[in-house]
Amino acid sequence: MSDSIDQIIDSLPQSGLTVRALGALDYIVPGSWENLTGFDNSIQHITGESDPDMVARIRARALELFNDPSQGYQRALYLYRLADQVDSKVGLAALAHKAGESFSLLSFLDRITPSPEKAQLADLAMKVVVESVAFCSLNGFPGDSVSDFAAAVGSFEKTNLIRMSSIIVFDGLIPLGPDFARKLTEIDLSAIEDNALYQRLRGYVPENVVDIVNGAAGSLGDFAANHGITLENSLGRLNGIIEFSDDKLDYLAALLDMSVNYMEHTGAQSVARSLIERAVGEV
């Protein structure tokens, strides 16, 4: 990996559509997610440490851990970044206005094409696989440890919580409706084998991809119910950022795929937090 985690965190945007879309989901657990940018700033915020020498020591240990490929941090970051990079970026320049402006969906209907439900379901399934394998990489579990991931979903917090909420809202509820979790339990390999992300990840994910998706489906449904995540609530928050009509949700899903990099953004923050929390205990 050419970029180091400190460079990536230093370059994360402080504003823009991705940040605003993530902020719109703050209603789920108010104040749980903060858009931490800047690696040294993240160290200070997470640890409460302000001494420059100690911050430097934590930074050095965190980078040492990240640069060791056997630790799993590089793998997790690669998976999070790839999940967004394979989404269609066609028309992004036309769709993404400067930060702070509203987005009028209807004016772009002739420039985007919504994916059929089968493709949307495959995209959701692969986001779940990425989340599961990255979780295992960050926590030292085997990559096929479905039960460990499923058990942990309910206790997600901070950046992990906002990313899981985003998966449910942006890739589940909006394109597939309230029964997205049930649809995941019925998916089979033929439904995802042509998915672009699956093709890119075949060397990084375990063979039991369908078991991961089916096994995690119930946890996603429970997560949504326990946190009060509904389509109506989510659309109400997003309507303050993106202008859309309720009968064009498939187009809204396509726009979000093209212009919101929530997996890469929050994934980098999760990797950084995991590194920092471990490093502070080892210096």
Phi first, then psi, for residue 188 (nearest 5°) are -130, 175
* Rounded Cα distance, 16 and 103, in Å: 12
Res 96: pLDDT: 44
Range of the domain at 203: 5-280
Phi first, then psi, for residue 243 (nearest 5°) are -85, 125
Res 101: pLDDT: 42
Which DSSP letter does residue 103 get?
E
Maximum Cα interatomic distance, the chain, rounded to a whole number of Å: 56
When pLDDT is cut at 50, 70 and 90, the band that residue 6 belongs to is very high
Q: Which residue in this structure is represented by tokens 């989901």?
A: 25
Res 98: pLDDT: 35
Distances in Å between the alpha carbon of 60 and those of 42, 55, 106?
14, 9, 49
What tens digit of pLDDT does each residue of 227-281 get?
899 999 999 888 877 777 676 787 788 778 888 899 999 999 999 999 999 999 9
Region of residue 31 (left: phi > 0; alpha: psi -120 to 50; beta: else): left
Across the chain, what does the average pLDDT equal? 84
- The residues near 98 (Cβ < 8 Å, ≥ 6 apart) are none
In this structure, are residues 269 and 126 in contact, taking their beta carbons and an 8 Å threshold?
no
Is pLDDT above 60 for 16? yes
Instruction: Count the neighbouring beta carbons within 10 Å of the beta carbon of residue 157.
Output: 10
Res 143: pLDDT: 54
Distances in Å between the alpha carbon of 255 and those of 95, 165, 167, 252?
7, 18, 15, 5
Domain count, the chain: 1
